Amino acid sequence: MAKLTEEQKRQRAAKRALRSALEAEADDRRRRERDEQWEREGTRLSWAEYVAGEPCRGCGEPMQDGLGDWYPLMKLSESEKREYEEADRRFREQHADCPGGRWSISGSRVTHCCFCCPPPPMGPKQVEKLARLFASWPSQEERKKDLDSWDLTLRCDHVVPYIQHRENARVSTRVVDCPECGERRGVVSSERVGPAYHDDGTIRERAAADRERLARELAAAKAKLTRQQKNTAATQQRIAELQEELGSEPS
């Protein structure tokens, strides 16, 4: 087989990056549609419902079964191995087409799908712990000193800025809002620009960063409104069809 030239290697790498960006967009779209459905249908459990033992509204299984964690496979008895394998088989059948992994609660053997099943709600202690953590954070001005700006080239070829903590060696997101397209687009490549804010930075630099942030948020809000309007129109159409069917039934 002939050795690839540098140009051929570059072209193949570009195709892989584009394919990855398209896959990221598809996954992001599925998850946003799922989250919107959860919001409409009240799929997530409240803390009170969770404590009361309400089952998972994603799969119908108990949130926890109280049977304790599974031991390592090497330590399971023959009957426990069969039970484990049967539970695994049922899970695979029920979630054969789900693009996600699994999660479970400590002290429970039932497993839930990372795509179908909303995670358990946070309890009062967790909320209190997070509140203390946020209260101990440095001020916004202090945090700006540790932020870097990146240029992201998107699947649509537009370049948008992205800000994240300096400790990240690579961009931590695969999909962002494109202000030009007004859509969510996959990231094809990224380049670190440097500090997002400077101690001696001018007001103009900060204002530009704020305008870019507001433009991204506005594009995201418009895109969400468009999706919601489409869902509303589809629901109204279904209601009209059902009413028509009811009206055409013989008395």
Mean pLDDT across the chain: 86
Q: What is the pLDDT of residue 215?
A: 74
245 or 17: which leads in pLDDT: 17
Residue matched to tokens 């690579």: 170
DSSP three-state, residue 56: coil
In whole angstroms, give the CA distance from residue 156 to residue 154: 5
The stretch 207-226 carries a mean pLDDT of: 71
pLDDT of amino acid 202? 35
pLDDT at 234: 79
pLDDT, average across residues 174-188: 94
- Predicted confidence at residue 221, as pLDDT, reads 78
Q: Is a pLDDT exceeding 50 seen at residue 89?
A: yes
> Which tens digit of pLDDT belongs to each residue from 55-78?
999 999 999 998 998 888 888 899
The reported pLDDT for the residue numbered 218 is 77
pLDDT, residue 61, reads 93
CA distance 174 to 114: 18
CA atoms of 222 and 226, how far apart (whole Å): 6
The pLDDT value recorded for residue 16 is 94
Strand partners, 35: none
Average pLDDT over residues 135-147: 83
Band the pLDDT of 203: cuts 50, 70, 90. very low
C-alpha–C-alpha distance, residues 149 and 152, integer Å: 10
C-alpha dihedral, 194 to 200 to 203 to 208, nearest 10°: 0
Place of tokens 């967009």: 25
